[in-house]
Structure 1
C-alpha cells in the first residue's frame, strides 16, 4: 500500500515518513519545497490551493491512504486569507480527491487551536465545543470541516483530524523553541510566572498515531485529541531544558507582578494571559484504541537541549 504524505519535508512530516517506512508502507511525498527529502523515490510537488482539480487527482494515483501534514503556522506575517488558503482550502481540495480516488484513510494533522484559544484554561477533549480564537485556529477548524464534509459527500467515514497540542522534537519551532532559547540564557525566572500546566506531544508520538490509524481495521473517529501521557508545568519544562544544557534551574520564588506589569506596558497582556493558562489534553480516546502516548516528556525535553548544546 502507498501513502501520500504532504508536508513531508517539514518538522512532523519527516518523522511520519520515517515511521511509515518502518511499518512497511510505500511512500509518495508531496511538498512545496523545491528539493525532495533524501531517499524519496516517489516525490511530487504539492499543488497550490488554486490548482486545477486534475492536479489533486493525479496525486492520488496508486495511493491508498493520505497523511496531510502540510500547513501554514508560526508565521506572524500571514493574513487570515493566507491561513485559510493553506489550512482550509488546500485541505478540502486534497480530501475531495482522496475521497473519490483512494480506498483508505485520510489523516489531517490539526491543532487544539481549532478548539480553544491560547488563553483558555481547562481540559480539552473530543467533546470540547470548537471556539477558535485566532486566524490560525479558525483555518484549522475550517480544514477539519472541509475534510469531513468531503468524505461524507462520498458516503465514507475514513477521514479523521488529529488535534495536537504544542509538538516537540528536533527541529521544533514556535513557543517551545522560544522557551528552549530562554532556558539557554540561564536568566533567573520567577516560578509564579511559570506555574501553568500544559499538555505537549512528541513528534514521534504523532507519527505513531498516524501509523496506528492506517493499520487498524476499524474506521477512525472524526476527531482525536492527542497529548503525552501526563501534562507538565511550565517551570518543569524550563528546568528540563536547563538540565540538558547542564545549567542550574534558577527558578526563584519571586512574585510574578513585575513581569505582568512589564508585559501590560508593552502591549503583551494577551501573551501574559496565555502564559498563565493551563491546557490539558485528554488523550484517553485514542489511547483506548491502542495508541501509546509518550510517558517521559521531561526526559525527552532534557535530551533535546543536551543534543542542541
Structure 2
C-alpha cells in the first residue's frame, strides 16, 4: 500500500478512498527521538537557519523515510515556504502534488482543488464520502475525549493534544486508531476528576516543544482547549454531508477572523481563564498576534518556539508568572 505524506491537514478521506496510507509528515518529524537531527541535516543541505524548523524537519523526515511514495504539499492556506519545499523535494526525486485551500474560501475553487486530488489518486467524491462516514464515528469519540478534558476534567492537556493532532491522518490506519482510542477512553472514564485551579486555552500551531503541557500542570493549571488540534478532527463537519463544505468550515487555512470566532466560542463554553498563543519562529503567523490580542479581551501569553526539545528557562519563567497572575 502506497504511503502519501502531507505537509498539513488535507481531505484525508480522499487518500483513504484511493486505498493509500496518509502520513502527516509533521507527526513523523516531531515524534522522532532525535528530531533535532532532522533540522541539522536540512541546514547542512542549504536550508537557511532562519527558516521554520517544521519545514526543515518535514524535508528530512521525507528523505529519512523509505515508505513515502508522494507528498501532498499544501501551497496555499498554510506555510508560505511549502512551495519552495516542494521544489527541493522534486529535486530529490520525490513526487509532490500541490493542494490549495483557496484564500477566497469559495466553494467552486475548493471543490476544484479536491477534484484534482481525487484525480491524482484515482478516486472520486462518492468513495471519499463513504470513508467520511466511517471516520465520523471516530470523530464523535474524539469529541467525547475533548469533553472528558474540559467538561469532566479527567484528561490532561497533552492527551487532548495528542489524540486530536493524530486525527490528521489517524495514524495511517483509522481502524487501528479507533481500537486504541476506545481502549484509552475506557481508562480515562475511570479516573477521578482533576482539580487544577487555572483553565488555559492553547491557540496557534501545535508546539514544537515537548514539555509544555506537563510543565503547565506542575504549576496548578491545565490546558483544556487546543484550538488547531481540535480543528484537525473536523468535528464541526460531522453533520455535514458535503465534503467540500466540511473543508470550508475548517478554520485553520483561511482568514484569521474565522479562527477568532471559533476561539471566542470555545473560550466561553470552556470557561477559560487565560490563553497561551504559540507562534513558530520565522513564521508569518507571528504577526497575527497583533490582531488576536486586540480581538480576545482576556489575558494572553505569547510564546515563540524554534527547535524541538524542552522549553528554555525564560519561557518557563514567563509561563509560571502568567499562571500566578491568573490564580
TM-score normalised to structure 1 length? 0.31
> Higher helix fraction: Structure 1 or Structure 2?
2
